[in-house]
Structure 1
Amino acid sequence: MFELVTAGGWLMVPIILCSIVAVAIIGERFWALKQEKVVPANLVAQVWQLHQRRELDNQRLTLLRDGSPLGRILAAGLVNMQHEREVMKEAIEETGRQVVIELERFLNTLGTIASITPLLGLLGTVIGMIKVFAAITSQGVGNPAVLAGGISEALITTAAGLSVAIPSLMFYRYFRGKVEMLVIKMEEQALKLVEVIHGEREADEGTV
């Protein structure tokens, strides 16, 4: 393995660093985007029960806000539940935009890695071929070892760049789709709470 890295030349260093960062981001996003962490089950039902019992004090709102991204959105609406429906929705939407930014954290970095690692591999290919032609110019084609060194450097960096880029792109697309799905679920739950609070939906429907 070390021999391959050495044979690939100095461009293997940024490619390896990109791979380490990509693995760290993928692991962190798998943990952070678990559905039970972002959209806890029956949270709206619990909030509605607390509202009915008039137990939604500041302490419980703080716990709700800190408990999950969905809880943060619901808390923003509950703070404004004495106002009109539109005011409550605007507060939820504003907080929702902030939550989406947090859910998408590091995804741009992962997408950038997916874009630049093939280019780094291509640059390694170009440098390797330049070495090949330089060797041909200075020594002719009589020394296959020199030619093989340049060609192997070109192929190794290309393979390394693609090996990092392909899974990075796959997981980037996967996490983007998961964030969109979670946002839709949070919007549904927040809308249920707004409609129940303002009497536009039966309580037993809104808390399912």
Structure 2
Amino acid sequence: MAGERGRGWWSEYAGRLPSNFLDLAELEQVSTRLLTFESVHVPGLLQTEEHVRAIYAASVSAFSEEQIDHRTSFRLRRQRVLSREEPFSYDAVIHEAAMRVRVADRKVARRQLAHILEQSERPNISVRVVPFDIDGFTRIGNPMLYAEGATPRLDTVLLDNARGGIFVEAEDQLRRYRTVFDGVRSVALDAIGSRALIHRLSREL
């Protein structure tokens, strides 16, 4: 991300977490709107604590308990951006596949879905689900976060991959990824249909 990192709450984790973690927290904090698409994982800002801990406990990196604690507390602290006083919108499009992945047991999965439903009722949060039965959907492997700044020139896209996050700020690429997100959202269920699907998935657990 361009520019020198500011001094925010995330600086407390410097030296304990990778720098890209801190970059992401700052990006979320300075944004006015976040648009995210996830195909395999529940978005971090919507994860419950037990869900987060289960992810890190099962990681191939074999984190220590202290490292898991740091990563979990950091992710939960990031979630406060959803409740900040400044105007802020969060639009999440999640593939049904991510809703069905059990990072732990059925109870944890059920509580995670209940948390998503609860968050989706908040006025500044939109949760839309892309169901499995959509024809011709080819973007299941392309998670992304589009962060809108106070002006369009401050927009940033974060692309997630196995080597970590890649920040994109070039104007032509931003337009392309905004088009990608709009396309994904166009095939997702509306808010009512999405909540109905999440309720059904929870009953099936």
TM-score by length of 2: 0.27
If each structure's helix is expressed as a fraction of its own residues, which one has the higher value? 1
Higher relative contact order (CA 8 A, sep 6+): 1
If each structure's strand is expressed as a fraction of its own residues, which one has the higher value? 2
Which structure would you say has the larger Rg? 1
TM-score by length of 1: 0.27
